[in-house]
Every structure is written in C-alpha cells, then in structure tokens.
Amino acid sequence: MNIKIANTAKKLTILLLSTAILASCSAIKTTRGYVPDPKMTEAIRVEVDNKESVLSMLGNPTMRPTFDDENWYYYSKKTEQWAFFKERVTEMDILAISFDDENYVSDIRRYSVEDNQIIDPVTKKTVTHGKDMNFFAELFGNVGRFGGGASNPTAGN
C-alpha cells in the first residue's frame, strides 16, 4: 500500500513541477505609454483645433521636442518578452500632431510598427585628429617637462 502512495506522490510532484516550469515560460506582455481614446483622436480637425483644444481632449503629449513646440507626439507600445530573451515590440501607435505659427493643427500623422526603422548610428570610428600616443609615450611623456619657473599660476594654464 505504501508503494502505491509513494508512486502517486511522485507522479503528482512531477506533474506539479512540469506545470510550474511551463507556466514560468509564458511571455511577459506589457503596455507602455499613452493609450488614446479613438473617439477623441478622430475628433481632432486640421485648421480647426488649436493647442489648447488638443490639450483638453488628449492631455499632455508623451513627448514634446526640446527646441520645437510645433510638434507633439502621443505614443504607446505593447511588448512581449520570453524569459531572458530580448524584448520584442508587437504593437506601436504614434500620433504626431503638428501646429502652424498660429498654434492651429496643421497636420495629423499616425505611425505603427511597420513604419519603424532600425538605425545604427555607431557604425564607424570617429576620427579625432589628435596625437596618437602609445602606452610608453603617455607614461613617460611628461618626464623633463617640469621646470623651476615661477610658481605663480597664470590665466589659461
């Protein structure tokens, strides 16, 4: 009788551990950013609405460029990540609203994951045109440069 109970307990333990392992491998899905109300975003009209009306309908934009208050961006994204693998963007919605000089809406654009482009800005080495010194030149470069001149510091040194 004890052997049957031990075998059943073993099978139950294996089943529970297998279920726990499979459940821990499920994808982690997250939503970040601004999730707009479709009725509000469709209500914005070019050359009718201004910054104040857009602000009252949609709230503060997710991003405003630092030196340009003529473009507002509302964006959200949904991502999925399996265990320790890299996060993958599954959905992205960017609402870009441009304003003219009189603060009226001049253009409304929408972007999605399909419009996303991967940019690799660091492809080459930046040339600095300075002195190319090796280890020993840097180590012994100041030997003999210290003179017994005036001890008073001067401007620019």
pTM assigned to the model: 0.57
Is residue 57 within 8 A of residue 40, CB to CB? The reply is yes
How do the domains of the chain map onto residue ranges? Answer: 26-139
Most confident option among 36-40, 95-99, 123-127: 95-99
CA–CA dist 74, 34 (Å, integer)? 6
pLDDT digits (tens, 9 = 90+) for 21-70: 766 667 888 888 888 788 888 899 999 999 999 999 998 898 888 888 89
